[in-house]
């Protein structure tokens, strides 16, 4: 193996590894829930810190939507189901 091939091999491996976590959950803004409720759900269901939960809630409020979780397809499906059960509006993204 030559020196020139090593970076491309590493990049190919990195890309393959990263693609496992290429799924995400998008939270949509609504006028029903209080910020504190959304932040609590983000901390409990998406495993976010209070600081990150506040940032995501504000982004959803300002832009209409925000990525609230990234992980494998199975993890994202579980988080999306739990967020839906908490009466929050989310979708899965790729």
What are the Cα distances from residue 78, in Å, to 46, 65, 75?
Answer: 10, 19, 5
Length of the chain, in residues: 94
Tens digit of each residue's pLDDT (9 = 90 or more) over 16-66: 555 566 899 999 999 999 999 999 999 999 999 999 999 999 999 999 999
Model pLDDT, residue 94: 87
Taking Cα atoms as reference points, which of 89, 63, 77 lies closest to residue 24?
A: 77
Q: Which residue has the higher pLDDT, 51 or 94?
A: 51
pTM for this structure?
A: 0.77
């Amino acid at each position: 193996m030559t020196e020139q091939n090593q970076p491309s091999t590493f990049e190919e491996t990195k890309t393959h590894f990263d693609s496992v976590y290429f799924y995400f959950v998008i939270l949509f803004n609504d006028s029903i829930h209080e910020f504190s409720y959304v932040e609590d759900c983000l901390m409990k269901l998406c495993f976010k810190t209070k600081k990150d939960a506040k940032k995501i809630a504000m982004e959803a409020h300002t832009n209409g939507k925000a990525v609230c979780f990234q992980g494998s397809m199975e993890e994202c499906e579980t988080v999306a189901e739990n967020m839906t059960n908490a009466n929050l509006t989310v979708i899965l993204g790729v």
